[in-house]
Amino acid sequence: MYKTVDMIKQHELLNSIANLVDSGKIKTTLNKTYGRMSAENIMAAHNQLETGSSIGKIVLTN
């Protein structure tokens, strides 16, 4: 259903990148994980974004 012509190549690239992250050769842009999605965590994440000083990804989990 969700197949593309380059699906195998995308898989290979993602595996290569995952290996580089796992080995510490490149670092993720994850900045902060706020935990489970809640009104309090959403507001905290949004407040961090509003400061304009946030670098990297901000994550809310499910």
- Vertex 29: Cα angle to 21 and 35 (nearest 5): 100
Bigger pLDDT: 13 or 55? 13
Per-residue pLDDT reduced to its tens digit, 14-51: 999 999 999 999 988 888 889 899 999 999 999 999 99
Domain locations along the chain: 28-62
What's this model's pTM, rounded to 2 decimal places?
0.54
Question: 3-class SS at 16?
Answer: helix
